Amino acid sequence: MSRDTGRRPIILVVDDTPENIDVLKGALINDYTVRPALNGQIALKAAMVAPYPDLVLLDIMMPGMDGYEVCRRLKQNKETCDIPIIFVTARSEEADEIEGLQLGAVDYITKPFSIPIVQARIKTHLQLRFVTRALKKNNQKLMYERDLIENIIIKMRGADVLDDRNLRHLIAPVEQTAGDMLLSTFTPEGRQLILLGDFTGHGLPAAIGGPLVTYIVHEQAQREAPGLDILKLINAQLCARLPTGIFFAALLLEISVQRNEVNLWNAAIPEAFLVRRGAVVEYFPSQLPPLGVTTSLNMDEVQVTRNLEPGDRLYLYSDGITEARGGNGDMFGADRLAEFLTGVAVDGTPLEGLLSMLADHTGASTQDDDITLVEVRI
């Protein structure tokens, strides 16, 4: 009895000679349920009787429909395409065997055959079939659970509306659950907090920390917590809760109520830059490792504070932009991005133009990493 189905495996034996069927049936009847068929048409009908056969022993030379055509039709039918087929035939030429295997058969046995060899090969291919079926079933279960978790994360991240006042942004994830995240919120007093984050990788593993970070930023903003304290709390919570190997690159902006001053902390995000009157006047490189790696981070000493002027533009972006590689291996880089964005800052053209530039650079219609670009208007 098969542990996979809870019943004895069913072997469909197809041969136009009754004596051959009797020989195989006698060799298999103690371990399997044998379903005989004397020609190709009967075989196709027998293959569609539930429960479906677990394996087919198939002769080639039969009147009417030969074994090759039976195999071809079984493989074309979505209900029977996964059933392993073993040719058992008097045709012993190499070309015959090649044709049978190319049609999708898993094995080829020539007559006269050894009963122990037939039994051993049937056992092997049934074991492979049952293992494959179990793996497929487990994979379907995992995919269902993954989709369920993904939908939960999407709903949790979507519950907090991005306050995009004074912002323009471009977000292009590789998967539905992105590793990149963008948060913007205002405190009751009017300070604006903007966080660009990038969890390791992309997809579901990279997105699991997003709801926690979102909650911390919005909850602490309502408490009028300073940006530095918020960043410290995010790091502490991620260190305590994230699994090993997942960390969080982050850049936090804290813009004053009067919008004339910004505090900035960069933890492993590509260098942000400030555009003033159509030119880049300052870059803000990373001064911290990613968050969630260690609690021993001295964030107080790396805070950057700058005065702002009306018309200034601050640009933040994830590494999916600058690390996009062209056909010769060269990265898109910060210089190309800065050139594009200084023009954007002057004429206000859509940020989406960057996607065309990236596609031209990489020569690909798909991207390898999440892309996020933020323009903060002063």
Q: What is the pLDDT of residues 331-362, one digit of tens each?
A: 999 899 999 999 999 888 899 999 889 988 88
CB 275, CB 341: distance < 8 Å: yes
CB 59, CB 14: distance < 8 Å: yes
pTM for the predicted model, two decimal places: 0.65
pLDDT of residue 141: 87
pLDDT of residue 1: 59
And the tokens for 280?
Answer: 């880049």
Q: Which residues of 100-115 are buried (b: 16+ CB within 10 A; e: fewer)?
A: beebbbbbbbeeebee
* Strand partners for 37: 14
Domain annotation for the chain: domains and CATH numbers: 10-138 (3.40.50.2300), 160-377 (3.60.40.10)
- Per-10-residue mean pLDDT, the chain, length 378: 74 97 96 97 96 97 96 97 96 94 96 94 95 90 77 61 90 72 95 93 66 91 97 94 87 98 97 95 95 90 95 94 87 92 90 90 76 95
pLDDT of residue 297: 87
CB 77, CB 85: distance < 8 Å: no
